[in-house]
Structure 1
């Protein structure tokens, strides 16, 4: 176990950003923020309700004409300044993220860098939004036919708690580059990093009414979705909440972008670099203590190398340092809170009835933890072998540090197992056989296929899912055009 370091752990108070100001009182009251590493209160959150949502949407609607009319150069320069300011404040943003989520400090800093990267990427798109000219047909009325991409207006963004600073980059940067104004419902479990980002954006020159941040619960989110002046919703989170959002959105027929859960499988064939495959699977699964939608949570291994891979995976997971997220050696911090802690341990207990717990599965020995964090919500990195692919842990998202390992005997079986869950966010294929890759990629039902390892999610790569993992794309050109609608213009000759 790792030890603690000397650092202030007080988050202070945060609340909504409304039209460039920070009210000191809100209609929905306030709540304590609990540090996942200590289980103690370390901050206060002023919660937004329908009243704050109405005020934010009205201000965003009023700011939209000027922001839309701003020259592409102006929007580009502002977003570039946001990127530069965020780069300078990565240590601060990383610290806030760690205090909110319990994520290791190195992971938090990497997420802040990713966010800055998306702002730089979409700054470059701001002056490259172009339509097309439609060729004339000899049988049609002659004239000029062309398209104009236009912003929607006010975009409602609903963030999840497990990586809010990353979602800020993927959602807010392209929406602003396209000329929209944004109202963000930040998660009540993790609002501090998003609030600090908003301050940085204002300091960098973003006009006050263009971006609003509202920490709040389900009532605020529901009101934002139903608001008639919100033109589109972008949501990251779970399937049950997504269904509620779709039900609320039907009243105004607004489009919704959904980035939902996943049950990513890594398929390991005998010709793969097995050491690299194990390292990649363990790194991916236990990032953020397994609390990520596209982390590798299933390891499908050819029976020929199954026992070897299980042993190596268990050894690698057992070697991961668990402890204080502010210690640079820590690989796994706590899970987000008490409810998640109890739920994940329950999943492991049920899974142990018909699979083999190779390593982990328990709360770490508190004697080995530094005194400051002995009450925190820690769970050992857990590897389960011989998992039934149709079981709860084999099919459903755990959102905790649990890796399920299961064997296969053929390519066909590997594809069937990979596709056997309701999700379709990502798949990893570990093999040196290029022909195998070409055979398998068209058969895998997922929005991303990674061959022999992850790319690190570059901002130019589109990200999104198939099936119950949602629809729409974030990142890349596709992510920009999610926030644009196309107008066709015909001028008769």
Structure 2
């Protein structure tokens, strides 16, 4: 299992892209990108530093007024043109995602189409961002409110799904009339850079979209910069706390999409085979590297052993392999450091007898020895207060917990500091609605998952974040209200 020379040749110039131009020298050093499936280096990534952040924000500010005044029909056309261009190059973009972070081909192939859908949906809002006429008293007047773009939006995206993230966040920001400066992680810069190159090709003005691959130094400079009007961050809670502190100096508004420890509640009246399929799929997709993954399966006592056995069989049926292969279900995790961190959770759970190891629990060897592969892992009889039930592991680990009744399930599900997603499997419609009301989460899926279509609001509560993407709430997230009063 090797990375092909053709894959390396696909990679775009990894230097920052600002105002339609590559930065030939950067101030943030260099990062050696590594292909997670083999542990082998690919190319060196020039990293943005404070001087490059200054340049990108200045360029975006210079483009702001023109882009804001661009007619909604033109913005709509450009966004639809970009969507079509991304679909036309879907194979290339999927291949870049595979090289970036080892996402299996079957998953990576869907991302270009998903972000095209987000762009087309948001494009439809360009000519529908309307204001309101407001009644006023006691002085006669004509009063109206309008939505305006913030101006320059700083967007920091994660490494687990960089192509989907840039598309789903940029789409409403552009539709609302903002310019964006995007910082992809140094681990996964390629799809973001290609996205911006394609945007330039279809006619987006230089400066509307700038891409700054970088690490913590670039991120710190970006969120503290006085030229940024809004920040959108996707990542970890500790980093979000630092961002809020930095943004407070300029009182810059911040939207956050953070971690999760999502509960998947399986009642005895559910279709158990389907419920087990979902429990394994919801938790182990993307090798467990997903914020909305249902990594805590809460199973009712009466069917607990049956569901655990079903989950074991389904987890063991997931085939690890070369991410380029169409039959690979489990790819690598992102880095060796991540691999060691995840194995630390697993090893402690076994050594401390936190729970019963049902399957997995090992780092894969043999043909996978040089890559960052972990066997799909299932623990059962997991206490609700144990480390693997409380902390976001961000790896291919499913924890199965017991509950007795509906009240017990709600108590356990809500016992986490997170509140991003939750899942319920039941044949009782009334119970489904009661659970949806009682669960502390920004999203609840009942008997399956509809994914994240661009028409629905997505976001968390508690320590899973604030703000929303998708639907009209996503447009509002990147717009601010101005009120106008005219004396009569």
Q: Give the alignment's TM-score, normalised by structure 1.
A: 0.96
Structure 2 counterpart of 1:143, from 141, 144, 163:
141
Partner of residue 25, structure 2: 25
Structure 1 runs of 4+ aligned residues shifted over 4 Å read 3-7
- 2:398 match: secondary structure: strand
Distance 1:117 1:305 in 2: 39
Measured after TM superposition, the shift of residue 89 of structure 1 is 1.0
Q: 1:12 to 1:476 in 2, by over 3 A?
A: closer
Deviation larger for 24-33 or 326-335: 24-33
Partner of residue 251, structure 2: 253
Partner of residue 266, structure 1: 264
Distance 1:5 1:254 in 2: 42
- 2:424 match: secondary structure: strand
Measured after TM superposition, the shift of residue 136 of structure 1 is 4.1
Residues 5 and 327 in structure 1, CA contact (< 8 A), matched pair in contact too: no
| Residue 76 (str. 1) matches residue 37 (str. 2) | no
Measured after TM superposition, the shift of residue 5 of structure 1 is 9.2
Partner of residue 289, structure 2: 291
Distance 1:301 1:115 in 2: 34
Partner of residue 482, structure 1: 477
Residues 13 and 44 in structure 1, CA contact (< 8 A), matched pair in contact too: no
Listed one character per residue, the Cα deviations across residues 399-451 of structure 1 (whole Å, up to 9, x for unaligned) are 00000001100100100111011100011010111111222222110000000
- 1:55 match: secondary structure: helix
Measured after TM superposition, the shift of residue 6 of structure 1 is 6.7
- 1:173 match: secondary structure: helix
Residues 33 and 187 in structure 2, CA contact (< 8 A), matched pair in contact too: yes
For residues 122-271 of structure 1, the aligned pairs below 5 Å read 122-137=122-137, 140-271=138-269
| Residue 406 (str. 1) matches residue 425 (str. 2) | no
| Residue 57 (str. 1) matches residue 52 (str. 2) | no
Residues 149 and 176 in structure 2, CA contact (< 8 A), matched pair in contact too: yes
Distance 2:4 2:59 in 1: 42
Measured after TM superposition, the shift of residue 112 of structure 1 is 2.1
| Residue 110 (str. 1) matches residue 110 (str. 2) | yes
Aligned Cα RMSD in Å? 1.3
Measured after TM superposition, the shift of residue 296 of structure 1 is 1.1
Distance 1:13 1:204 in 2: 19
Distance 1:187 1:277 in 2: 35
Residues 388 and 406 in structure 1, CA contact (< 8 A), matched pair in contact too: yes
Measured after TM superposition, the shift of residue 8 of structure 1 is 2.8
- For structure 1, the 5+ residue unaligned runs are none
Distance 2:201 2:231 in 1: 26
For residues 389-404 of structure 1, the aligned pairs below 5 Å read 389-404=384-399
Listed one character per residue, the Cα deviations across residues 296-353 of structure 1 (whole Å, up to 9, x for unaligned) are 1010000000000000001000000001101110000000011000000010011122
Measured after TM superposition, the shift of residue 116 of structure 1 is 1.3
Distance 1:134 1:358 in 2: 62
Distance 2:277 2:435 in 1: 23
- For structure 2, the 5+ residue unaligned runs are none
